[in-house]
Amino acid sequence: MDRNSNESILELQNEMEETRRSMAQTLGEIRQEVAEGLDWQNYVRRYPASALAIAAGVGWIVGRRLGKPVSSSDINGPTGSLQTHARSSTVLQRMADRALSLIASHIMAVVAIHVKDFLSSRPRNP
């Protein structure tokens, strides 16, 4: 009985050691895949158009958030002579902002699909 139990214990220890090695290898592979997935330069090389669209969208959003509002004197010069032009440009500006927001939301949806496809199509290491 002692010999069988010692063999069983050794088998269990060997299996546990093999499981530890396998887990360590799997963890290393997962870390490598995550690092490759987060490498923005790799993404830019593979999808330059999407990267450009993202950069443009982010630049536009940041510009809108940080930009100063345009006053009528900025539009019409120091005299501020064309008040109707200032009002119509404000309406046009709001319409343009809405149109750009709509376009940006569609671009971001397309980019999200590309990112999802990129992350799901990554080849797995055996």
Q: For the segment 42-91, what is each residue's pLDDT rounded down to a tens digit?
A: 878 888 888 888 888 888 888 777 766 655 555 555 554 444 444 556 77
Asked if the model's pLDDT at residue 1 lies above 60, the reply is no
| Token duo for residue 35 | 């690092």
Confidence of residue 24 (pLDDT cuts 50, 70, 90): very high
Cβ atoms of 9 and 3 within 8 Å: the answer is no
Q: Give mean pLDDT, residues 20-35.
A: 90
| Token duo for residue 25 | 């290898």
Q: List pLDDT tens digits, range 107-126.
A: 888 888 878 877 777 655 54
Separation between Cα atoms, residue 78 and residue 76, nearest integer Å = 7
> Model-level pTM?
0.35
